[in-house]
Amino acid sequence: MSENPLRRLHEFGQSFWWDSLGRAFLRDGTIARLRDEDDMRGITSNPSIFQAALSGDDYDDEIARLAKKGFDHEEIFWELAVQDIREACDLLAGVYERSGGADGFVSLEVDPRLAYDMETTVKEVDRLWEWVDRPNLMVKVPATAEGMEAIRRSLEKGRNINVTLLFGRGAYRQVMEAYLQALEARLEQGLPLERVASVASFFVSRLDTLVDSRLEEVGSERALALRGKAAVANAKLAYQDFLEVFDGPRWEALKAAGARVQRPLWASTSTKNPAYPDTLYVDPLIGRDTVNTLPTVTVEAYRDHGDPAPDRVLQDVEASSRDLHGIEELGVSILDATDQLLREGVEKFEKSFDELLAALKKKVEAVR
């Protein structure tokens, strides 16, 4: 068991979280096995994950029961989601306590239709926080311009926040600034900092998918040689931003008051291009104070042939900078790509949520 590559990640300062959730996994022992055998230390969910979970028949009896009580399809979704999140939080409560509040979190995303509505997002964070009523809940808020202020205000209230749909380093800087401002506001008010937790979910593989397509349009030998380089390079430089921000007098004052860093979380880590190694977005990004949230296919691949080693995220940083510079020189803008990916990410989650609600509505109508 000690040789399990997934378990070894924590030796090198990285927490493995699982990017999946569903009623069956809660009840059949899957989550408990991942926790105990693979040292899984957290769970993330999103509208696409819930859409997949609800597409089967695991929830049909509960849907029928709630429908007959008069709940509409949207209310039923939140009832089912909160129940799943609570059960997952309880399964990871021991991890949360043993880690001193560093791990053991389960993430639930706000309604994705609120991505550009700051005021309602803050209210939705409050609603979900109070409804789930678990200290190891993280509420996911997308890193849109409107989301930044919602993130800051929610953190200031002491809500644990998973900042999602991060692609660009500029947005990441804004997220870290929002986190520091929230902690400073709490400190000024005499509020505790110890159990305020946050991660910044930096999406990785999607950047390669988009940038590779643009490099192929350029078509030169140099352009084709840079395929598969952008995502890891962007993440490695983002980690350098993290090291810079969480250092120095400003951070040390907060740390002395009990604050913990806002960890970068590598998301979207399954390999989309079958020509690339299936652990491409895991091994190179191992580092202290990081999280990697792995979908099931990547969990299985890494358990089988992962190659963990310390501080890989600190290696080849200059080469990463050169790769990104080279991509820019070819006329492929990383900023343009990350802006597009944010827009598309919001649209994708909205679409999944709309499809999920439409499918639920049909099930509700069938039992009434």
Catalytic machinery residues: 140
* 178 in Cβ contact with 151 (< 8 Å): yes
Q: Supply the DSSP symbol for 18.
A: E
Strands 198-203 and 161-166: parallel
* 108 in Cβ contact with 132 (< 8 Å): yes
What contacts 285, CB < 8 A, 6 or more positions away?
A: 204, 232, 235, 236, 239, 266, 292, 312, 313
User: Cα separation of 272 and 268, whole Å?
Assistant: 9
Strands 105-109 and 42-43: parallel
What contacts 78, CB < 8 A, 6 or more positions away?
A: 131
Record the tokens describing residue 323, joined without a space: 């790769």
Q: How far is CA 214 from CA 34, 232, 330, in A?
A: 38, 17, 10
DSSP string, 291-314: EEEE-HHHHHHHHHH----TTGGG
In this structure, the number of other CB atoms found within 10 A of the CB of residue 188 comes to 8
Classify 187 as helix, strand or coil: helix
Q: How many distinct helices (H) and strands (E) make up the chain?
A: 17, 8
With 0-12 CB in 10 A as exposed, 13-18 as middle and 19+ as buried, what is 325? exposed
What contacts 354, CB < 8 A, 6 or more positions away?
A: none
In this structure, the number of other CB atoms found within 10 A of the CB of residue 211 comes to 27
